[in-house]
Structure 1
Amino acid sequence: MLTSVVIPVRDAADQLLYTLFSLNLQFTAFEEFEVIVIDNASCDGIAERIERFHAHYPLRVVRFRRRMPYYHLLNTGLAQASGELIILLSCNMIVPREFIGVHQHAHDHSGELVLLGLGTKRIYSVYEPDFSPIQQQECREWLVQYPHIKRPYTQHCTVPLLEESQIVGGLPFHIGLPCPEAEKRHAIRQKYGPRLEHHRSPWTLFQTQHVSILRDNLFRMGRCKELPRLEMERDLAKRLWRKGCRFQFDDKLTLIKQERVIRKAREQSVSKKNRRVQ
């Protein structure tokens, strides 16, 4: 089963390269999957750095010159995908070696499945000077616990902290911090089981940062609608559910979410106002 991994990205070159490197370590044969990166007008040199990256699998990059809404990124990625199975993945997720294989195996046994991400830990793979005060403090305390992780040599520049050899050895999966969102999902799994039996609205758990769906099921739904990200995700998931797709948590994978700068709600609000004025 050919699998297409679609990864939208904007200004996260260091995190993305760690994610792409983790896909180099898959147990699955490299001719069985492809990766499509949708670059949303990044300004941090992603295109040039991806050109220098040696991928063991087919890797394509679609670059937009101006910033596009998220639904447009997904529609573009889905149109570019060749696989029978589509995995939507966030640019800052380091994946375990069995990642592709687990998704393929799950869909081999169910044609109407929507496989939802469950297990996630957090890690400071990259130091960013614009981290919030809470992130700065957590990062410092975390680095104290693990002296073998590189320290940022400056507080004023973005600095990658992980070595590729540490990803090969699986270190991030042993030193990751708890993820509050994942803990909530585990509580839901404990109540309803992995197949979410008797859950009245399983579509509310759909997130494009880690989910897989057969291509045919997605294309029966049509394009992602022109809505803000959360509303778009809910709309797509609800349409899949109404068409008979079954939502299930993945019990076999734990992904590593790389911390990124938290954009302040006020800044986002100002940005929206500016767009309306224009």
Structure 2
Amino acid sequence: MNFIKHVFLLLVILLLSNCASYQDSVYLRNDEILDTVKQKYSLFEYRIMPKDELTITVSTTTPEASAPFYRKIGMTKGQNGIGQGMDNAKLLDYLVDNEGYIDFPVLGMISVAGLSTRECEAVIREKLQAYLNEVPNVTVRSSSYKVSVLGEVARPGTYRVDDEKITIFQALAEAGDMTLFSDRKDVHLLREDGQGRRKVIHLDLTEANIALSPYYYLQQNDVVYVKPTPAKVHSNTFTGNASAWITMLSLVTTVVSLIMVITN
């Protein structure tokens, strides 16, 4: 009888050890820290990096004046676009090369890496004034801002960011949130900087001070990996070896039954 109690107790301990605690399953604990810590009130600003793709438009009072500063699909580098019409045209994006330059019509190579979109607009606008009789309206937007989320989330995948700003929680929301078997205390962020250096940052999303982290906002091409909990790993191990577990349980049941017969 004591043997049966020991087996039952062992099963209970195993079940409890595989259950994630409530504290490990919630986000943003100890949020009072956000009121006590002095924060720098500066909004996140997207910075251009090598291999980014930029959509750049130039507007003037007369379309003919700005036509030389567009490149459309089908145009060669030497064509200026005059007389081809810009209505319903598919404009070519500008790829930032490894040195941080774009090749802009008429203006040539322009260094843009490290600039915000507003700063890039100002640089192009200043260079264009030498060719125009007015101050043009220049708009620069990223067309390749994306982040990837994989691991223990509902919808792993790569997600495009249209407003050039996304937090790690927004990225997880796009991916359908973490599953119940995710490790919220050690989320991995893989990041590559403008020089090609890669590093993995470990983030604890159960603590509110994540909002103070420099990694709270994701950069373009960041990869977020959500690890599984030990319970998920054990569950997968059990599922993959179900026949072996069933055989073992049958054997244990048989042994227990024999012991009960002998003791009685």
TM-score tier (shorter)? under 0.3
- The structure that is helix-richer by fraction is 1
**TM-score normalized by the length of structure 2:** 0.23
Q: Which has the higher contact order (CA 8 A, sep 6+)?
A: 1
Q: Compare CA radii of gyration and give the structure with the larger one.
A: 2
